[in-house]
């Protein structure tokens, strides 16, 4: 026996297409604490919620706009792109995955290099994009960092890496892990040249990046409440067989234990970086 749970008073949809009003995408943002912030207000505050100080995850385009004077910079090595050198395939081929993420993000890989002035001081900044396969470390990231460091040595400029990554890119296997030694070797050359290296750790910074160049900078800064670590808490707990301290992978905990020098809000990052460079950088 069929039941009519409801009946329409009028058949079909009577609202004309011209009268429909869509809510603009991105007009509002809700933070994890439940605070709702208007997008324009969030942007004006460097994508930090004025209600609860939550740092919304952003990419290289936003960071470059925040750091460089008037948002002006020159991108370096923009045409370096990832390829599928291993013909890797999991749920889909690496080639197809790259095509999809490049089309979606309009990026060529998970990091971008830029040179510009920060409060009048010229420097090079490499910024990771978490939107590109989780900001994962692959052969292109290693190569771009290598080129950025060579540029710094040639031009006698300070260097900064903004880290936000889930770790090494599994689709490139050993090629991705080789980048750790490659980058560390180049950073040693940067140090020998007497040039400053700053790391700014954002949420999240994990895996091999934490185990290498994110933690070997002259000055290590981090965003408030950023998650920073090598492995996830479940893996660590199962490995050591004991409970872990609350918040042990936050930037605040790491600063307390001496792994991070400064907790720097995104609203203050430009001023702090420029002051640090002017205090510590060796003039040519």
* pLDDT tens per residue across span 80-90: 998 888 989 88
Number of domains in the chain: 2
Is the separation of the CB atoms in 171 and 86 below 8 Å? yes
User: Measuring CA to CA, which residue among 266, 255, 273, 269 is closest to residue 54?
Assistant: 266
Token pair for 72? 């002006």
User: Do residues 142 and 274 both lie within one domain?
Assistant: yes
Token pair for 25? 């995408």
Distance (Å, whole) CA 134 – CA 170? 11
**Domain with 76 in it: what CATH number?**
3.90.226.10
User: Do residues 32 and 127 both lie within one domain?
Assistant: no
User: Do residues 268 and 185 both lie within one domain?
Assistant: yes
User: Do residues 249 and 227 both lie within one domain?
Assistant: yes
The residue length of the chain stands at 284
Between strands 74-76 and 197-205, the pairing is unpaired
pLDDT band at 23 (very low <50, low <70, confident <90, very high): very low
Q: Residue 38 in 3-state DSSP?
A: strand
pLDDT of residue 283: 56
* pLDDT tens per residue across span 99-134: 999 999 999 999 999 999 999 999 999 999 999 999
Distance (Å, whole) CA 138 – CA 168? 6
Mean pLDDT, the chain, rounded, equals 88
pLDDT of residue 90: 84
Extended beta strands in 90-193, E state: 111-118, 121-128, 159-165
Q: Which residue has the tokens 């700053």?
A: 198
User: Do residues 44 and 69 both lie within one domain?
Assistant: no
pLDDT at 157 > cutoff 70 = yes
């Amino acid at each position: 026996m069929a039941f009519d749970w409801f009946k329409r008073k009028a058949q079909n949809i009577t609202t004309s297409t011209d009268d429909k009003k869509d809510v603009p995408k991105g007009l509002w943002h809700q933070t994890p604490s439940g605070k709702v912030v208007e997008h324009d207000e969030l942007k004006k505050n460097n994508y930090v919620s004025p209600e609860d100080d939550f740092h919304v995850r952003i990419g290289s385009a936003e960071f470059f706009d925040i750091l460089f004077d008037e948002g002006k910079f020159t991108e370096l090595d923009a045409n370096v792109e990832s390829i599928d050198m291993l013909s890797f395939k999991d749920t889909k081929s690496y080639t197809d995955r790259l095509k999809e993420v490049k089309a979606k993000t309009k990026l060529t890989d998970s990091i971008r290099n830029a040179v510009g002035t920060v409060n009048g001081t010229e420097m090079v900044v490499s910024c990771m994009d978490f939107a590109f396969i989780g900001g994962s470390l692959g052969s292109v990231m290693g190569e771009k960092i290598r080129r950025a460091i060579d540029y710094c040595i040639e031009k006698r400029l300070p260097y900064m890496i903004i880290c936000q990554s889930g770790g090494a890119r599994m689709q490139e296997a050993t090629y991705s892990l080789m980048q750790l030694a490659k980058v560390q070797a180049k950073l040693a050359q940067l140090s020998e040249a007497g040039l400053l290296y700053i790391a700014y750790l954002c949420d999240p910074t994990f895996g091999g990046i934490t185990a290498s160049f994110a933690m070997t900078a002259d000055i290590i800064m981090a965003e408030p409440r950023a998650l920073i670590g090598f492995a996830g808490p479940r893996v660590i707990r199962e490995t050591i067989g004991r409970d872990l301290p609350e918040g042990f992978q936050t930037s605040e905990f790491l600063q307390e234990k001496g792994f991070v020098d400064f907790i720097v809000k995104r609203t203050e990052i430009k001023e702090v970086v420029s002051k640090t460079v002017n205090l510590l950088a060796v003039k040519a």
